[in-house]
Amino acid sequence: MKHVSRWALPALLLALSSAANRPAPPRPASPAHSPSLLVPAVPDSLPPESEPAPFLRPGQPIAVDTANTREARARMYVALAEQMERGGQLSTALAAYTSAIALDTTRAGIAFRMGRIYLRLDDPARAARSFALEIRRHPENLEAALELGTSLAQIGHGAEAIAALEALARRQPTDDRVWSALGFAYHAAGREREAEAALRRALGLPPPRASEHRDLGAVLAAANREREARAEFERAIALDPRDAAAWLDLGNLERRAGRSAQALAAYRSAEERESSLALSLRGQAQVLAGMGRAREAEAAYRRWIARSPGDFGARLEAIQFFVSEGRADVALEMARGAVRIDRQSGDAHLMLGVALDASGDKRGALAEFRRAEALSAEGPDAAGRARARRLVATLRAGAPDSLRALFAADSIEHETARR
């Protein structure tokens, strides 16, 4: 850290942190408006040719070859998608389901399965679009209606979600799943008293469900009713010890209470039950860093990045940690990984600039910041351009006298280019 002034580096990291929560491509951004009911089709990759027609004899019945009918091909795609889904190849499964739904618009459940996969990929907007398509084609699918309501609540369409679920509750007053989904939607909208009432009504109906205790715990935790919230999380875990989300929520509660060891144990239990749960890895990394257990924190950050390589917010947090620990070499490794993932991302080049600055390479840092500014200038990312310029200004202010000529030349060249 001897190459970076004490005030310059925090300023660099603070300027960059406003981009922390925006993941990098390849996943396209979800629309901000209400989910569309249209699902784009994947072009059919099967050859159009069919087997030659058989010769017919008088009196012989005509055999109908169904091998290449649209319905048969749709069944083949569904079988492939199910196999890929079981193997954890979710993107391939989505492509196969999309081809199936384009071939057979009457088959129930395809759009629903797509919605479930999008939820696993943490993309509730696309999940909502898929569930809406399922309901449009098969209005009787109650599970799709419930999933649509909770997905809409997740993406901030609270009024729409609550209206739909309240109407459903009037039609299905004895179904605990409806009240549970309504409680989730109320909670997402900040209507905690109504959320608690709906979830308690769900818990009063059979069968007992761990998820309802877990969600009630989240509502109670939001109201700072720590003792009651912990009891609900523990009930959820007792009903379903495999529920990673209940362990995660318990870890968050323990961490908020300052019980680091208990929080760490809960986060590790969540990871054991679902290794892809990024939030449990983030929780472990942050708790371990706060406890001064740098080597274990480093391992947690590495697992987090490995599980979510395209999450640039995760990379930025890891870079900040490694820089603070004097591990500029590891920060540089993480930042270069971001650029390899998306060379056209201004944020990736900003991170690389920060890491280069931490390693003492002011020239390289300046070049990356200017590259990030140029990439942001090619689109409507005014905030990205502003971040890059602030980082250049901060870098210039903290640069040693030996680099004054470099920054003077950069200023002249940059002003000339802007004209």
Write phi, then psi, for 350 (nearest 5 degrees).
-65, -45
Angle at 202 between CA 223 and CA 147, to 5 degrees: 90
Write phi, then psi, for 381 (nearest 5 degrees).
-85, 75
**pLDDT for 16:** 55
Q: How many residues does the chain have?
A: 419
**pLDDT for 277:** 87
pTM: 0.75
**pLDDT for 41:** 34
- Residues in contact with 389: Cβ distance below 8 Å, sequence separation at least 6, in sequence order: 373
How many CB atoms sit inside 10 A of residue 85's CB? Answer: 19
- Residues in contact with 102: Cβ distance below 8 Å, sequence separation at least 6, in sequence order: 39, 41, 42, 44
User: Encoding tokens for residue 317?
Assistant: 């947090």
How many CB atoms sit inside 10 A of residue 384's CB? Answer: 23
User: Encoding tokens for residue 225?
Assistant: 């009713």
Per-residue pLDDT in tens (0 to 9) along the chain, 419 residues: 444 444 444 445 554 555 444 444 444 333 333 332 333 333 333 333 334 444 444 444 434 445 578 999 999 999 999 999 999 899 999 999 999 999 998 999 999 999 999 998 889 999 999 999 999 999 999 999 999 999 999 999 999 999 999 999 999 999 999 999 999 999 999 999 999 999 999 999 999 999 999 999 999 999 999 999 999 999 999 999 999 999 999 999 999 999 999 999 999 999 999 987 899 999 999 999 999 999 999 999 999 999 889 999 999 999 999 999 999 999 999 999 999 999 999 999 999 999 999 999 999 999 999 999 999 876 667 787 888 888 888 888 887 878 878 877 776 666 555 55
Cβ pair 331, 322 in contact under 8 A: yes
Cβ pair 45, 76 in contact under 8 A: no
Q: Which of 219, 146, 221, 224 lies closest to 186 in space, CA to CA? A: 219
Q: How far apart are CA 141 and CA 148, in angstroms?
A: 11
Per DSSP, 314 falls in state H
Q: Which of 110, 49, 40, 42 lies closest to 75 in space, CA to CA? A: 110
122: left (phi over 0), alpha (psi -120 to 50) or beta: left
Q: Distance of alpha carbon 28 from its chain centroid, rounded?
A: 12
Q: How far apart are CA 290 and CA 325, in angstroms?
A: 12
